[in-house]
């Protein structure tokens, strides 16, 4: 009994000092409008109501931060011009977010509206607005927050928009970061967090610098919270800096703990944990759940067709091919629709597998969530060969093809093309080929950066790629299957 009394007395007297030695940060990124839980491996996972329930269990004050791409990616997000994301984040009590490349997907007017209606801070040190819009003047390079008696500085670095915005430019990440870091240090923060829409390892966006390069030689950044590549990184350290990335679609949240010395108050270390947002474990708060359900487009959940099998959007591990049944299907759709010789689909655009059973309109939008439309591009054979070579990564390809068969291998850890056939004929390096693809890739977005150099291209139709897929599902009432693998085949080079 005396032992329990002494323990209680110790907590009452010294508890506040021990408590002040840590600061909790929760991080999301690339939520892409995934507001509601989804069935994943037999469980209901994710969504803002579940995140809200998880955060309500926290005993200590915390920072809630997001690394961008919250505006665009689902039907409800599109219908609201991204503003529904802001409403959810306001209700969750986010402290700050930076700007992702998809924040302008619905045009400048919606971007301005969303920034203006955000109750949290929008941080982007590298945003320049030549129009001096009052709403965009709210965007700041950094902000300090007092959490548990500690002054935590947060710098935001945004990503150049996928869809250009007049008078608004996001660029010069390194220069803007150096300036913001210098100014922030003058305020004497106890720890510095970099909130950035970029990754430490991004084999998809091969023309971009990674976060390690971004902070190289810059002292004082304790934690880098990234995104953009839709990858998960926990407890990755470089020169004492913790790098964290939280995946996509709000299935998880990262919990970062900052530790400080009890006596000196100085920062000691940071570490992270990746928490699954299980709706059965964290029962949604009725207030947030009611708001979520009121904003769900329920007709999106009505069946429009059937999948006779689960159709993966990735190739099996250790297979001798790296094309996927769902990626091939999308490449076939755009090839047939445009009448091009070649169909090309960026692998990352096909976001998830199609599960066996009823297909809903929501599932179609979750698989291909962006409003991309068909484009025709004309390229020489030598360009196509270079494109294919640069798209080959270890055990994956940045593109899926229709009308193209590739054989390749690795020599000294570098990919080597053995053969390329177009509609059964050997690739002619001098000939011009027509490619049907989506406008995002055709205009040089993301992994399609090589297409920036191509001028011979034009839009084909106003149908979106998602609508092509929905039409295909409805046109096959008996059900659909995936398209056989084997278009990008890997062989051993002796």
Cα separation, 489 vs 24, whole angstroms:
47
Helix, strand, coil fractions of the chain, as percent rounded to 5 = 30, 30, 40
Rounded to 5°, the CA angle 137-138-143 comes to 125
Judge contact between 262 and 18, C-beta under 8 A.
Answer: yes
Which of 92, 22, 7 is closest to 51 using CA atoms? 92
The confidence score (pLDDT) of residue 373 equals: 96
DSSP letter string, 174-206: HHHHHHHHHHHHTT--SEEEEEES--SS-SSST
Q: Which residue has the tokens 């591990």?
A: 317
The confidence score (pLDDT) of residue 444 equals: 92
Judge contact between 226 and 243, C-beta under 8 A.
Answer: yes
CB proximity list for 331: less than 8 A, separation 6 or greater:
343, 344, 345, 400, 401, 402
Which of 343, 332, 98, 316 is closest to 228 using CA atoms? 98
The confidence score (pLDDT) of residue 204 equals: 62
The confidence score (pLDDT) of residue 198 equals: 96
- Res 494 pLDDT > 60: yes
* Residue 135 pLDDT class (50, 70, 90 cuts): confident
Indicate the helix (H) or strand (E) that contains 13: helix 2-19
* Chain segment 20-41, per-residue pLDDT in tens: 489 999 999 999 999 999 887 7
Cα separation, 143 vs 304, whole angstroms:
47
* Chain segment 393-436, per-residue pLDDT in tens: 878 899 999 999 999 999 888 899 999 999 999 999 999 999 99
* Residue 208 pLDDT class (50, 70, 90 cuts): low
Burial status of residue 206 (CB atoms within 10 A of its CB: 0-12, 13-18, 19 or more) = middle
* Chain segment 354-394, per-residue pLDDT in tens: 999 999 999 999 899 888 999 999 999 999 999 999 999 87
| Greater model confidence, 5 or 156 | 156
Cα separation, 182 vs 175, whole angstroms:
11
**pTM given for the model:** 0.83
Cα separation, 139 vs 165, whole angstroms:
16
Residue-averaged pLDDT of the chain: 92
DSSP letter string, 207-247: TS--HHHHHTT-----EEEE-SS--EEEEEEETTEEEEEE-
* Chain segment 182-207, per-residue pLDDT in tens: 999 999 999 999 999 999 987 665 55
Beta bridge partners of 371: none
* Residue 123 pLDDT class (50, 70, 90 cuts): very high
Query: Where are the alpha helices (H) located in 70-200, listed in sequence order?
Result: 75-79, 83-92, 108-117, 173-185
């Amino acid at each position: 009994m005396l032992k329990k009394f002494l323990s209680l007395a110790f907590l009452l007297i010294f508890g506040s000092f021990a408590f002040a030695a840590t600061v909790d940060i929760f991080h999301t990124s690339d939520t892409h409008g995934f507001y509601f839980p989804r069935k994943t491996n037999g469980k209901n996972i994710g969504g803002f109501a579940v995140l809200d329930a998880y955060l309500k269990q926290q005993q200590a004050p915390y920072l809630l931060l997001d690394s961008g791409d919250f505006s665009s990616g689902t039907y409800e997000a599109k219908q609201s011009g991204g503003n529904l994301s802001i409403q959810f984040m306001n209700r969750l009590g986010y402290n700050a977010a930076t700007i992702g490349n998809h924040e302008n997907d619905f045009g400048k007017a919606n971007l301005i509206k969303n920034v203006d209606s955000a109750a949290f801070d929008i941080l982007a040190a590298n945003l320049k607005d030549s129009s001096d819009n009052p709403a965009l003047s709210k965007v700041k390079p950094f902000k300090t927050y007092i959490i548990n008696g500690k002054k935590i500085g947060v710098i935001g670095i945004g990503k150049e928009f996928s869809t250009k915005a007049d008078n608004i430019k996001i660029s010069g990440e390194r220069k803007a970061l150096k300036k913001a870091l210098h100014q922030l240090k003058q305020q004497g923060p106890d720890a510095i967090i970099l909130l950035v829409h970029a990754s430490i390892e991004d084999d998809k966006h091969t023309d971009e610098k990674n976060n390690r390069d971004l902070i190289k030689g810059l002292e004082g950044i304790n934690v880098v919270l990234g995104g953009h590549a839709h990858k998960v990184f926990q407890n990755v350290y470089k020169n004492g800096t913790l790098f964290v990335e939280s995946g996509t679609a709000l299935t998880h949240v990262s919990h970062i703990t900052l530790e400080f010395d009890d006596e000196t108050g100085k920062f000691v270390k940071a570490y992270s944990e990746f928490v699954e947002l299980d709706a059965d474990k964290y029962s949604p708060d009725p207030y947030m759940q009611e708001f979520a359900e009121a904003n769900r487009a329920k007709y999106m959940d009505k069946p429009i067709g059937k999948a006779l099998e689960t159709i993966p959007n990735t190739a099996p591990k250790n297979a001798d091919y790296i094309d996927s049944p769902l990626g091939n299907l999308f490449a076939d759709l755009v090839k047939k629709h445009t009448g091009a010789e070649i169909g090309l689909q960026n692998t990352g655009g096909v976001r998830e597998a199609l599960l066996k059973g009823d297909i809903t309109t929501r599932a179609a939008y979750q698989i291909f969530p962006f409003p991309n439309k068909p484009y025709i591009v004309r390229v020489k054979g030598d360009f196509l060969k270079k494109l294919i070579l640069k798209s080959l990564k270890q055990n994956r390809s940045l593109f899926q093809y229709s009308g193209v068969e590739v054989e390749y291998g690795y020599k000294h850890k570098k990919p080597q093309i053995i053969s390329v056939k177009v509609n059964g004929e050997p690739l002619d390096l001098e000939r011009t080929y027509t490619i049907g693809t989506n406008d995002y890739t055709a205009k040089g977005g993301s992994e399609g950066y090589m297409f920036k150099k191509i001028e011979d291209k034009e839009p084909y139709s106003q149908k979106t790629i998602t609508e092509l897929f929905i039409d295909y599902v409805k046109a096959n009432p008996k059900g659909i299957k995936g398209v056989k693998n084997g278009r990008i085949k890997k062989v051993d080079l002796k």
